[in-house]
């Protein structure tokens, strides 16, 4: 695994006139930041958690992911945005069960929605080469 930079969700930009929404990740102990385009559903789910708005009566997909992991005796430990290839981000949900680390392939938007489901949010780690390439 490459060097990882701790990041945090800095902004969510939602638009009713575009299918693409934007989240910004910002370096925890620095100034570097970059955007990721995500879908409307994921942006809404992230926004619900960040603003602590009332959640729907039934679990959303990201709540289901957390519930399944917990039911299987796993703890979700972090999100890793591990790769950027052909303008597509690849992420991992890092779980721990019985001292074993389990990496589960995920879209960054889904993984970040899971991360912000927790209080405090789970760590969001990004490969150094992605941060270097995208930060102004």
Strand partners, 62: none
Complete domains list, the chain, with CATH: 4-134 (3.10.690.10)
User: Burial, 24: exposed, middle or buried (Cβ in 10 Å; 0-12, 13-18, 19+)?
Assistant: middle
Whether the per-residue pLDDT at 1 is higher than 70: the answer is: no
Residue 81: other Cβ atoms inside 10 A: 25
Give pLDDT tens digits for 14-51. 988 888 899 999 999 999 999 999 998 889 889 888 88
Task: Report pTM.
Answer: 0.90
8 Å CB contact between 26 and 7: yes
> What's the pLDDT score for residue 59?
81
């Amino acid at each position: 695994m490459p060097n990882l930079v701790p990041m945090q969700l800095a902004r969510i930009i939602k638009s009713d006139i575009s299918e693409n929404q934007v989240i910004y990740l910002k370096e925890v102990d620095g100034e570097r930041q970059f955007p990721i385009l995500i879908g409307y559903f994921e942006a809404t789910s992230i926004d619900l958690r960040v603003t602590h708005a009332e959640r729907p009566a039934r679990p959303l997909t990201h709540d289901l992911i957390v519930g399944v992991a917990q039911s299987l005796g796993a703890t979700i430990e972090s999100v890793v945005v591990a790769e950027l290839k052909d303008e597509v981000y690849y992420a991992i949900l890092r779980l721990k069960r019985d001292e074993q680390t389990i990496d589960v392939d995920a879209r960054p938007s889904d993984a970040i929605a899971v991360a912000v489901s927790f209080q405090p949010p789970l760590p969001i780690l990004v490969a150094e080469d992605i941060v270097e390439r995208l930060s102004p």
